[in-house]
Structure 1
């Protein structure tokens, strides 16, 4: 009962907080997205080199677009590609790959139009990174019913170093982050539309809130497709799919209760459980299988004909699907047993405080080389480091969100925490696996939403005294300005700018960053 009362109070506050016409509801988010896009697209083709795991994914992407499956490459492929874009040493021999193909299809879209060179294999991820900023601003506005808070969340994402770096390299994680965030936004739209239907049922009175069928929910279906696509980039999307499916059902139960349902749990299980299962996990599975179309439709993929001529209890299953299942078992084994030591690997316990960022590119020209004029030499580095002040503020913001969810029954805080748990907590299972902090780029949008929520609380409600609002605005503004200044300070380390070694040392705040 208390939860229903709290939720109805939040909905009333939400309605009054959102103006009927807000001329900045799109212009504000678009302005923030343009700012982010200029940052991410500027000099995108530099450095003219394979950055970290770009040595794998762009070449796999090119193979997919040329022949439908990933192929093997000679040892000197990197030198040949970077030396002459016209020389593409593509092989017909299949190669084992550790992740599903969709992310590489996306990366390959840029190479299809701009060729196999750095700008070509980075442009698609850069566009998705920019769109993520726009989505966060709009999601924040919908979540908190405030264009200011939404744009603040978008601005924070625009100046986060980890999201910035991962938007400018041809790796899979930026694609995963976009799809997970898009699914979260789709579920928020579905929640709002569902609440409108439930409010209408409440107005009818009686048992309408128990019996009403919510009908086709295209936004929930879209979320299922997006989460299936996230799984088709990296399997880390699977826990998010599970958590978001449960989250939607909890929203449906709470919505029915707030609408006056006599038995909201029973009503949710009868009316909403199976539609949710069909529109999310089943839609996700269909989207996931569709991403393997190139492998299934061609004959050259790795293990493509493994099941041919094999009998067994499942011989009635078509051979291509059995081959695909076997291939998946090999991918699972590889990803769960990878323990090869790496200089920049780190433990998930340290990721929120960014204690061990990943150096993705490094050059150290001496004086007189490559334009270096500093007497102690120069450094050029790409460091996948989240803007430190933003991430440290996010630790407090998550604690505040936990307080809001547990003590105030704030569904918005619960939604953010659910996303954080789905993305972050599964990594603690792999204490021995070789893992890296840049995987948390999927988490960054939700950290920015949490920080924006905390800053909104600092600002104070609309009915506060002018003095309270001024002091709150000053404090919140100071945090945003400090985060932007911190990003600007570290920008040379995000873009491989050539800087004197003394300036590089100034930015190494901790020995673990080296």
Structure 2
């Protein structure tokens, strides 16, 4: 039993942050959607007026904060993303510890999260998805803590974190409903869970507090020099955002269907061009060892829940399944692999819970998986970190399938 996880969690955070910061300024130009979000952050710093209105403000405000600290430089653009990545990693460690109470699966969860590839790439780019996931993962850890210890302040904190996640990207909104459903299912299954929290008051707090936290993220817009937001326009403005979110977009070379993401059929290149004196590339691709074994683990979790009624196996399977399933109903005209980012992290939980639940039968499997995942991380690292490549055709060395090109 790990009785004092905080010192270890702090160490994990520091080590992850150090890793994410290495060569963070390479490349010294916009990468992928930084072309949208860095100018939007500049507009927030200047309070010049609404920019990139299809997304809420919080993620762009955090990018702006990094720029205020370190300047309008690649380090300034991306620094806050590194913190978000480190928070996500620690949250996965904390959630696993709260579920299992054991050191080994908690460390494995942290290691697999770090080796997922997707966390490393997203922690080093000024995009909104990393901030959203940091708040989501923190909220999940807080909910897991509330499940064991109760307390209105823990539940309210989880609600705030969920609201802030929505304040980064609307993709987080379904997770508020997931949290409410999980609370009701757990509470009805055993009244000792979430001690001291009755169902209806808890749901009311979840909805109202998360909604209020979300609306607060629009505070900077009230101070724009052009077209400032007003209380009367706050709600109608949400409709404008929805219209932007659901507009039909032209076809894109790297678009892909949601069902293909878990299979790694079509990853996405964030960068592949000569920059900073060399040919460089950044490929957003999940670690095949983790992504594919994770699918087996999800199936095992569902099967284990059906056979044994294990609530933690159900929770892990349902979280990943729900995180992917929302894309089957979200009215987006185009899909891209980076939408799978939350799922690519949440898939770690089914893996570690399967390894823990059947640890006698699967003895040593965790080390084998970690070894393969680490070897693949070393192999793919040049395409994850924008290392200098020999020439423009060097990418072929890492292309396992033609659909990856």
Q: Report TM bin, short chain.
A: over 0.9
Judging changes above 3 Å, is the alpha-carbon distance between structure 1 residues 364 and 50 closer, same or farther for their aligned structure 2 residues? closer
Q: Does 1:388 align with 2:288?
A: yes
- Matched residues in 1 for 2:320 and 2:110: separation? 17
User: How far is the alpha carbon of 1:300 from its aligned partner?
Assistant: 2.0
Match of 1:52 in 2: 32
Q: Does 1:151 align with 2:107?
A: yes
Counterpart secondary structure, 1:60:
helix
User: After the TM superposition, which of the residue ranges 277-286 and 166-175 deviates more from structure 2?
Assistant: 277-286
Q: Does 1:291 align with 2:201?
A: no
Superposition RMSD on alpha carbons, in Å?
2.4
Gaps in structure 1 of 5+ consecutive residues? 1-17, 68-91, 195-215, 260-267, 305-319, 372-378, 461-467
- Matched residues in 2 for 1:193 and 1:95: separation? 42
CA deviations 1:40-82 (Å, max 9, x no partner) are 1111111001000101112211221332xxxxxxxxxxxxxxx
TM-score by length of 1: 0.74
Which structure: larger Rg? 1
- Matched residues in 1 for 2:247 and 2:14: separation? 42
- Matched residues in 2 for 1:258 and 1:495: separation? 43
Match of 1:256 in 2: 191
Q: Does 1:419 align with 2:329?
A: no
Match of 2:367 in 1: 477
Match of 2:260 in 1: 350
Counterpart secondary structure, 1:443:
helix
- Matched residues in 2 for 1:286 and 1:159: separation? 35
User: After the TM superposition, which of the residue ranges 332-341 and 40-49 deviates more from structure 2?
Assistant: 332-341
**Cα pair 1:149 1:456 within 8 Å, conserved:** yes
Match of 1:486 in 2: 376
- Matched residues in 2 for 1:273 and 1:190: separation? 13
Match of 1:169 in 2: 125
Counterpart secondary structure, 1:191:
helix
**Cα pair 1:394 1:451 within 8 Å, conserved:** yes
CA deviations 1:131-170 (Å, max 9, x no partner) are 2112211211111121110110001111111111011000
- Paired residue total: 404
Gaps in structure 2 of 5+ consecutive residues? none
User: How far is the alpha carbon of 1:325 from its aligned partner?
Assistant: 2.4
From 41, 62, 66, give the equivalent of 2:21.
41
Counterpart secondary structure, 1:362:
strand
TM-score by length of 2: 0.93
User: How far is the alpha carbon of 1:38 from its aligned partner?
Assistant: 2.6
- Matched residues in 1 for 2:179 and 2:339: separation? 19
**Cα pair 2:257 2:335 within 8 Å, conserved:** yes
Counterpart secondary structure, 2:233:
helix
Match of 1:246 in 2: 181
From 141, 153, 173, give the equivalent of 1:218.
153
Match of 1:128 in 2: 84
Counterpart secondary structure, 1:380:
strand
Matches within 5 A, 1:105-504: 105-194=61-150, 217-256=152-191, 272-298=198-224, 300-301=226-227, 304=229, 320-364=230-274, 370=277, 379-430=279-330, 433-457=333-357, 459-460=359-360, 472-501=362-391, 503-504=394-395
- Matched residues in 1 for 2:363 and 2:349: separation? 17
CA deviations 1:207-227 (Å, max 9, x no partner) are xxxxxxxxx511111111111
**Cα pair 1:28 1:147 within 8 Å, conserved:** no
Counterpart secondary structure, 1:499:
coil
**Cα pair 1:247 1:418 within 8 Å, conserved:** no
User: After the TM superposition, which of the residue ranges 342-351 and 323-332 deviates more from structure 2?
Assistant: 323-332
**Cα pair 1:129 1:163 within 8 Å, conserved:** yes
Counterpart secondary structure, 2:271:
strand
User: How far is the alpha carbon of 1:364 from its aligned partner?
Assistant: 4.6
CA deviations 1:157-213 (Å, max 9, x no partner) are 11111111011000000001111111111111111013xxxxxxxxxxxxxxxxxxx
Runs of 4+ in structure 1 off by over 3 angstroms are 25-35, 92-96
Counterpart secondary structure, 2:191:
helix
